[in-house]
């Protein structure tokens, strides 16, 4: 009786104990993005509906397309595979979905996470294709780290991984490649490109679809989805995912941007979306000289230089000079050029006896 009287005396307090959407069940969480207190079922609905809305409003897919899902076994790609397969069935997208994984060759990390992906293949009924650095480039990340050390290893991995995903998607004859990049990731990338002064990447890093002029377009259905909500969704749905961080990533430059974003989010949750909106509305001066898009003369991959970054890095590794692929310098005309390209050309002129492996020919 006392509880009833207390509820009548303070109706706002009583109302706050119920889901702010359905008004029937007790809330299970407070949404990081909106701070609404909602129940599990309503959370599932709004989470999935928001992603469906992003897909539809941005025309990410066409009926009948073959779509490769970049699957690492982590929370983002696992939730992406689950949600995309659910939405494909529920809303009749008519997509042919596949899981695509890259084995970088990191003992104690990638070998374990790939076991998770193999379980996801069975759980979601999606065919799985695995491509490896060893097969594509002749090197594993363990071998690269042994040669280069821990300081710049993420440069090698990032460049090789991007190309490996495209090559895997080409093997699957995919029309689109989707990745689990979330709102936090994109906000971090905006900040990183500002800090690096990378105008070319800053101008396109918030695009929801990239590479439309390249071999295979990439889509990011989680562009406006917070990392915390992805974790909550995976937890409540009891999805099977791998949660260990890469053993070589603690020194990554991106980690500092990530910590900064987390601090901002604690102060103002909408800061993540605001940074993305800012990135979307950046206007690059017409006087800014942008790199011209071409193709690598060795492997055919998209590149603004004669050789793509993967070929440059790989040539440095194969010549026993791994640092040739790191660093930038300015040419005589003030345009940034890769320092390693000049050094590699010089070593060729001297008649080096070392023969570089090609990074592969892309057949699209």
Which residues fall in the annotated binding site?
A: 70-72, 76, 102, 180, 185
Which ranges of 58-204 does DSSP label H, i.e. alpha helix?
A: 75-90, 110-124, 133-137, 141-148, 153-171, 183-196, 199-202
**CB under 8 Å to 229, separation ≥6 — which residues?**
31, 32, 33, 47
How many residues belong to the chain? 364
- For 180, the token pair is 């689990």
Spatial distance between the Cα atoms of 122 and 128, rounded to a whole number of angstroms:
9
Spatial distance between the Cα atoms of 333 and 28, rounded to a whole number of angstroms:
60
Q: What are phi and psi of 19, to 5 degrees?
A: -55, 130
- Find out whether 263 and 269 touch, Cβ atoms under 8 Å: no
Q: 277-306 as b/e, with b when 16 or more CB fall inside 10 Å? A: eebeeeeeeeeeeeeeeebbebbebbbebe
Spatial distance between the Cα atoms of 193 and 245, rounded to a whole number of angstroms:
23
Residue 309 three-state SS: helix
Spatial distance between the Cα atoms of 141 and 147, rounded to a whole number of angstroms:
10
**CB under 8 Å to 351, separation ≥6 — which residues?**
none
- For 187, the token pair is 């906000």
- For 218, the token pair is 């990439």
Strands 128-132 and 218-219 come out as unpaired
Cβ atoms within 10 A of the Cβ of 263, count? 10
Annotated binding site for ATP: 70-72, 76, 102, 180, 185
- For 136, the token pair is 């594509």
DSSP assignment letter at 226: -
């Amino acid at each position: 009786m006392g509880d009833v009287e207390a509820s009548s005396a303070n109706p706002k307090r009583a109302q706050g104990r119920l889901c702010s959407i359905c008004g029937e069940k007790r809330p299970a969480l407070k949404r990081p993005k909106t701070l609404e207190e909602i129940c599990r079922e309503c959370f599932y609905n709004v989470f999935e509906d928001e992603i469906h809305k992003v897909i539809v409003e941005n025309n990410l897919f066409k009926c009948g397309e073959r779509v490769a899902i970049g699957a690492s076994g982590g929370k983002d790609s696992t939730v992406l595979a689950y949600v995309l397969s659910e939405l494909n069935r529920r809303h009749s997208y008519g997509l042919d979905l596949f899981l695509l994984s890259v084995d970088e060759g990191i003992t104690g990390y990638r070998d374990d996470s790939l076991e998770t992906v193999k379980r996801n293949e069975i759980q979601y009924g999606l065919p799985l294709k695995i491509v490896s650095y060893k097969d594509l480039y002749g090197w594993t990340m363990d071998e690269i780290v042994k040669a280069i050390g821990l300081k710049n290893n993420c440069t090698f991995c990032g460049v090789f991984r991007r190309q490996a995903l495209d090559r895997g998607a080409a093997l699957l004859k995919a029309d689109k490649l989707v990745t689990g990049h979330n709102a936090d990731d994109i906000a971090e990338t905006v900040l990183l490109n500002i800090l690096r002064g990378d105008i070319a990447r800053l101008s396109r890093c918030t695009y929801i679809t990239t590479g439309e002029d390249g071999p295979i377009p990439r889509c990011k259905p989680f562009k406006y989805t917070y990392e915390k909500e992805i974790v909550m969704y995976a937890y409540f749905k009891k999805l099977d995912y791998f949660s260990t961080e890469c053993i070589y990533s603690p020194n990554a430059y991106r980690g500092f941007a990530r910590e900064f974003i987390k601090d901002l989010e604690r102060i103002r949750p909408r800061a993540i979306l605001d940074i993305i909106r800012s990135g979307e509305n950046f206007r690059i001066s017409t006087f800014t000289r942008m790199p011209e898009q071409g193709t690598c003369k060795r492997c055919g991959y998209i590149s603004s230089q004669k050789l793509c970054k993967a070929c440059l890095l790989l040539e440095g590794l194969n010549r026993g000079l791994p640092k040739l692929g790191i660093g930038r310098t300015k040419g005589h005309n003030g345009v940034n050029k890769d320092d390693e390209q000049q050094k590699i050309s010089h070593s060729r002129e001297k008649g080096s006896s070392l023969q570089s492996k090609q990074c592969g020919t892309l057949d699209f």
